[in-house]
Amino acid sequence: MKVVRKTLMAGALLAALLPAVGGCGLAAKGGSGGGGGETNLSVWHQLAGSGNTAVQGMVDGFNAENPDLQFQNRELADGEADTVVRTGISSNNPPAILQFEGFRQTEEYAKAGLLTDITPWWEQHKSAYSYADSDLVKQLCSYDGKVYCVPLDVYTSNVLYMNPEIVQKYDLKVPTSVDDFKTNAQKLKGTGISTVSMYGGDGWPAAQWWQLLSIQRCGIATINKAVAQDGAKWDDPCFLQAAQDFQGLAEAGVFPEGAAGSDYNAMMSLFLSGKSAFMETGTWFQQTMAETPPTFDVTVAPFPQVDPAKPSTEQLGGINEGFGIPAKVGNKDASYKFLDYMATQKSGELFSKASVMNMMKGSDGALPEDLQPAWKQVQSAFEGGGQGFVTYFESLVDPSVGDQAMLNGATAMAGQTMTAEEFVTSLQKAAAAAKK
């Protein structure tokens, strides 16, 4: 999952403005548990908007209880987050707590000796977390049998946001089948209203559609095999069928003109301005609506099925932020103390109230009512057996496969400049080359 997906998720996107980077943190001398150098008592993270407000509330609460350890909150802005994280984790004065994207980054940073092994702490505190022993949490934060981060929040992209005024005015069907999008597109033809707001210029919004369809067509077990290039390939029939499903939607006029050219801001602006009936995106969009309420009452439905008679409960999304302690932190006692504070229901409720579905047990009761259906989907995915969730595929593969072949190819399909067959062929070719 690309950084842009997280930093754009909760900004005031109607104005297309992104928040600036916060303060650089407070340096405090030494302390036990570390190397005796300076300790940057700050939390660096990529949560924007109301998510950042929740982090600030957590920092304020911790500081009130610990006057000798005054932490600061630093939000990392879009376009610089990845560079700042890599620079910060490698420096001799890293932040006390650092959020990164987990999965491949956990492996990369752990291999390089840049993260603290927090396995003993995790074993003592994991009972405070929902689904702590799930495969998804292990994939996010573990490497070589050791734990290097803790989860914060969970997202699902298996949701469809709707404008009920447009649905009623044009007698549209709330989609339960993917083919229902095509029927609705015929009803909206010539009205100036798009069926689905989807602009793929950032890469991932288009790829997300193919990934959702692939989960239903192939299943997570097969996806994991394709990622490993062991037992499945990206050009297998089920992945091709998912690409053909997506191509068929583009050809039917379900997406707006120029779908390949504009970005996520444009995609949300089209929906929020009342110019499209539906929009698929992750539940981070709830934060956008909380900060910048639209002029109509948005409703939410599950992402439709390719075969409603055989529905899939598996989900795209999951836990996408891991909070860890850089290895070079001087005062690790302070870092662990902050993790203690994070691992409480009262901290979790700060995020729930900010429309962030978080992993702290007992905090889901504070979620807004319109997020409760999505939370039930999350629970069914975790409790339905197996993995239940798979993160965004590009986070699981080499950048030459994910960022290039997968994201660029899906965008080209949205713009109808690449066929489904060409897409899966190029994707598998890139995956085979990356494995050599």
Residue 197 belongs to a domain with what CATH number? 3.40.190.10
DSSP string for 286-318: HHHHHHS--SS--EEEEPPBS-TTS----EEEE
In this structure, are residues 212 and 280 in contact, taking their beta carbons and an 8 Å threshold?
yes
Q: Where are the beta strands (DSSP E) in 153-275?
A: 154-156, 159-162, 194-196
Q: Is residue 73 part of a domain?
A: yes
pLDDT at 17: 25
42 and 132 belong to one structural domain:
yes
In this prediction, residue 400 carries a pLDDT of 95
Report the alpha-carbon distance of residue 331 to residue 217 in Å, rounded: 49
* Residue 149 and residue 60 share a domain: yes
User: Residues 239-249: pLDDT tens digits?
Assistant: 999 999 999 99
Same domain as 70, residue 35? yes
Q: Are residues 132 and 175 in the same domain?
A: no
Alpha-carbon gap, residue 225 to 233, rounded angstroms = 8
Residues 404 and 360 in one domain: no
Per-residue model confidence (pLDDT) at position 386: 56
Q: Does 374 reside within a domain?
A: no
pLDDT of residue 22: 32
What stretches of 310-386 adopt beta strand conformation (E)? 315-319, 322-324
- Angle, helices 204-218 vs 220-228, to 10°: value is 120
Dist. CA 349–CA 58, nearest whole Å: 10
> Rounded distance, CA 167 to CA 405, Å?
35
For the record, the structure tokens of 59 come out as 């920092």
Residue 286 lies in a domain: no
Residue 78 lies in a domain: yes
Number of domains in the chain: 2
Q: Clarify whether residues 253 and 236 are in a common domain.
A: yes
Same domain, 196 and 339: no
- Print pLDDT tens along the chain (436 aa): 333 343 333 333 333 322 222 333 333 333 323 333 456 899 999 888 888 999 999 999 999 999 999 999 999 986 688 899 999 999 999 999 999 988 889 999 999 999 999 999 999 999 999 999 988 899 899 999 999 999 999 989 999 999 999 999 999 999 999 999 999 999 999 999 999 999 999 999 999 999 999 999 999 999 999 999 999 999 999 999 999 999 999 999 999 999 999 999 999 999 999 999 999 999 889 888 877 889 999 999 999 999 999 999 899 988 877 999 999 999 999 999 999 999 999 999 999 999 899 999 999 999 988 888 889 888 888 887 656 888 899 988 999 999 999 999 999 999 999 999 999 999 999 999 999 8
Joined together, the tokens standing for residue 286 give 């709830």
Q: Are 139 and 391 in contact (CB under 8 A)?
A: yes
Q: Are residues 276 and 422 in the same domain?
A: yes
Same domain, 172 and 271: yes
Per-residue pLDDT at 53: 93
- What pTM did the predictor assign? 0.78
Tell me which residue of 111, 95, 310 sits closest to 215, measured CA to CA: 310
- Dihedral angle over CA of 109, 110, 116, 122, nearest 10: 120
pLDDT tens digits, 61-77: 999 999 999 999 999 98
pLDDT for position 287: 80
**Of 321, 264, 353, nearest to 8 (Cα)?**
264
What pLDDT is recorded for position 104? 85
The token duo for 369 is 């009512």
* C-alpha–C-alpha distance, residues 303 and 158, integer Å: 5
pLDDT of the residue at 33: 35
In the prediction, which pLDDT does 289 show?
86
Choose among 287, 301, 307: nearest CA to 196.
Answer: 301
- Tell me if 41 sits within 8 A of 320, measured CB to CB: no
Does some domain include residue 141?
yes
In this prediction, residue 290 carries a pLDDT of: 79
What is the number of residues in the chain?
436
The distance in angstroms from the start CA to the end CA of the chain is: 24
pLDDT digits (tens, 9 = 90+) for 124-142: 999 999 999 988 899 899 9
- Residue 120 CA, chain-centre distance (Å), reads 27
Q: Indicate if 36 and 107 belong to the same structural domain.
A: yes
Tell me the per-residue pLDDT of 188-233, one tens digit each, with 9 for 90 and over.
999 999 999 999 999 999 999 999 999 999 999 999 999 999 999 9
Do both 123 and 37 map to the same domain?
yes
Q: Is position 53 within any domain?
A: yes
Q: Looking at the structure, tell me whether residues 129 and 162 fall in a common domain.
A: no
Which pLDDT does position 411 carry in this prediction? Answer: 97
Q: Give the domain extent around 74.
A: 3-153+318-368
